[in-house]
Amino acid sequence: MNNKLYSFLFATILIITSCNSQDTELALKPADFNKKIKTTTNGVILDVRTADEYKGGFIASALNIDYNGDNFKDEIDKLDKINTYFVYCLSGKRSASAADYMRSNGFKSVYNLEGGILSWQNNNLLLVAIPNQPSADKISFEEYANMINSDSTVLVDYFAPWCAPCIKMKPMLDEISSEYAGKVKVIRLDINENKQLAKKLKIIEIPIIKIFSKGKEIWTHQGYIEKKELIKQL
């Protein structure tokens, strides 16, 4: 009886370990993602960001299918399920969801870029730019430094227009800006429009909120946060 029980438990552990290992292997860090692309025959690179994001710079040879687009599922269903797919977005969240959808619909080999393009660039890996596309940030690092170096407390929200938690938090941040006028300066920094600045600041996940006092960072939070919890930090 004991031997049967031990055998059952051992088999269960092996299955769980195998599943966890597989999940880990499907999300690759930038260097591993890049190496896997180069060593894979019939690999397809899939950029699931918006068309405007794609135009700002993409991994060479990437096909663009917007994860939030109305035709995402239709376009994915047109792809050959035999191929190996390398999926990425800005921070890795949309691509993780896209990869999960693909695997659940018959695609056998789908890898996700952990940390997305933000992490890719922070590892000094290159993107291809479409000619005649503006590449300069809207806010320089010097301008940013001046913005956070204020007599008032400065709250900076690093966001992107497609980010659901960012959209949800915007009304709350607008309220704080109004209610704490003269005491707290609220800045919303679009990392889509300021890619080089985001890279320099090592912003690899959004949303991120930081609070500064006289230019010095005194608090940071990653992900969604309720208004009452944020106010406690002010």
Hey, what are 214's tokens?
A: 């006289």
- Where is 44: in which H helix or E strand? strand 43-47
Q: Active-site residue among 46, 90, 163, 189?
A: 163
Round to whole Å and give the CA distance between 34 and 214: 41
Hey, what are 156's tokens?
A: 């900076």
Round to whole Å and give the CA distance between 110 and 98: 10
166 is catalytic: yes
- Where is 85: in which H helix or E strand? strand 84-88
DSSP label at residue 29: -
Residues contacting 184, CB < 8 A, separation 6+: 152, 153, 154, 155, 176, 177, 234
Hey, what are 73's tokens?
A: 């599922």
163 is catalytic: yes
Catalytic residue numbers read: 163, 166
